Amino acid sequence: MVVNPRAGAGRAAALATATAEVARSRGDAVEVATPTDVAGVRAVVAAAVRAGTDRVVAVGGDGLVHQVVQDVAGTAVVLGIVACGTGNDYALGVGLDDAGTASPTMPALAAPVALDAVRTDHGWVASLATVGFSARVNERADAMRWPRGSSRYTLATLWSLPRLRAEPLVLTVDGTRHELEVTLLAVGTTAYFGGAMAICPEADLTDGRSDVTVIGACGRIELLRAFPRVFKGTHLTHPAVRTFSGVELELSAAVGAGPVGAARADGEALGPLPLRLTTVPGALHVAGARPPQARPGG
């Protein structure tokens, strides 16, 4: 178990203790680690994978999941999640609605389900990679200490509006080139980012493809008007929105364009453009996952 002790306003430590007790009661050998930085997380998880660990449980938010995935993706190691971070978008996207609880049937200790993930030049993406306005909002939200919870992203969006602009980008989808004016672009195998915003509402975690949502040139007032629709995933019909789907994607700045901000993934810094993204079927084995198409009525 890898624990972010600061997650959930300190609730992570108690959840980790309770989860470890449940696991040990069923006969599992459990080691608990509380690394204090990214390098520490990566070192702990890499060592666990090399040692043949069956399951790595991340107790924290999307940032911790992102770091754990870097060494777990593409292996047979099961990823368990006890979600107690700011947004918990990945847990929501894979159907772990009760992941932040500790009980004998808790998702983190359940049987795994094979789900897609995205491999890039700069590492793995569990949920969503994004560039443009959304990346700037995410960066601002990271720097905020108040408010707690997903409302932090809403406030960061409002504070970032003065910097709203469209940027010329080139998106290549399975060999087809698209020249676009982009205010926001998101690539995902799950629906959510930024605190339960369903930016890619039709994403399917088991179809071997990534969904792309592009918001083109859009003024501040129009963005504010359309913003509430993102939480319900009804923004796809807006005239400024285009969608794509593919396996092999590439993002780059248009020829002659100015510098484009770096991409972010799962709420963390990913890296600069150009960026190549490949959807890898079944790259993650996520404990207790219930992706939308596998849920009753889904």
What is the mean pLDDT of the segment spanning 169-182? 96
**What is the model's pLDDT at position 221?**
77
User: Class of the 125-279 domain?
Assistant: mainly beta
**What is the model's pLDDT at position 291?**
79
List the domain boundaries for the chain: 2-116+284-294, 125-279
Superfamily of 2-116+284-294 according to CATH: Probable inorganic polyphosphate/atp-NAD kinase; domain 1 (3.40.50.10330)
User: What does pTM read for this prediction?
Assistant: 0.87
**What is the model's pLDDT at position 298?**
43
62-95 tens-digit pLDDT: 999 999 999 999 999 999 999 998 779 999 999 9
CA distances for 216 relative to 59, 180, 181, 252, angstroms: 36, 7, 5, 16
**What is the model's pLDDT at position 250?**
97
**What is the model's pLDDT at position 85?**
85
Indicate whether 278 pLDDT > 90.
Answer: yes
Under 8 Å between Cβ of 222 and 240: yes
Indicate whether 254 pLDDT > 70.
Answer: yes
